[in-house]
Amino acid sequence: MGGKIYVVGIGPGHPSQRTFAAIDAIAKSEVVVGYETYIKLVEDLLGGKEVVSAKMRQEVYRAEVSIAKALEGKTVALVSDGDPQVFGMAPLLFEMLAKRGISVDVEVVPGVTAALAAGARLGSPLGSDFVVLNLSPLLTPEDVILHRALKAAEGDFVIALYNPIDSGLLRRVLEVVKAVRGPSTPVGVVKNAYREGEAVKITTLGEVDVDEVDMRTILIVGNSETFVWGSYMITPRGYSRKYRL
């Protein structure tokens, strides 16, 4: 009998943000595979299961182990934080299966993304069209990242910035956006959303403290209509253009 791989989005970290489907998929699995930090976030669900915990940058290894276990006939939960499609394990797993011509049953279980979690803590900054941009240069060349940042700024999209692991690149991206949007554009900075050590701050493009940012931080840059009201960052959807509010 063939095995199965659940690619599970566990959300931002806190158990309250897990979906019922994610909990059920892990419960059905004999093997749970994931980055060591993600494994710790679901350790309350791991009783009696085979657990394969991997280090940072061992994504290919995680996918290979999941495939191998499934081909042995086992049910596997390959866990990602947030949603597994959004800079998570799903794209890599499917690419490896396709390139190797391996047929195995795969089900993607969606989760609450980092952008959605950070947006919820800020109010409603994602109320209009938005872009998620990964700032890690490990897999995407810097010039491509800067080009995409420029086009997102010119398109007046709200921009959620993921994985700001390179402070120099983050500064260049913010400068590119600031040249289009202006220094007074609101920016939400959320560290450890729904995890221990959570910190939420609203600032502007001209005042972002890059030294306070790490890879656990999401930055949300507003568009031309985004405004701050009290402790909330708000991007209107456009109702005021049609209705009297």
Measured in degrees and rounded to the nearest 5, phi and psi for residue 82 equal 65, -130
Q: Are strands 186-191 and 199-204 parallel, antiparallel or unpaired?
A: antiparallel
Which residue range(s) make up the domain with 54? 4-112
User: Is residue 37 domain-shared with residue 85, that is, in the same domain?
Assistant: yes
**pLDDT value at position 1?**
56
Ranges of residues in the chain whose predicted pLDDT is under 70 = 1
pLDDT of residue 243: 86
- Could you tell me the CATH number of the domain that includes residue 18? 3.40.1010.10
- Are 222 and 119 found together in one domain? yes
Please report the pLDDT score of residue 238 as a whole number: 83
CA–CA separation, 96 and 39 (whole Å)? 22
Residue pLDDT, tens place only, 158-207: 999 999 999 999 999 999 999 999 999 999 999 999 999 999 999 999 99
Name every residue whose Cβ is closer than 8 Å to that of residue 215 and which is 6 or more positions away in sequence: 163, 164, 165
The answer to whether residues 123 and 159 belong to one domain is: yes
Q: 96, 112, 128 — which closes off a domain?
A: 112
> Residues 154, 80: one domain?
no
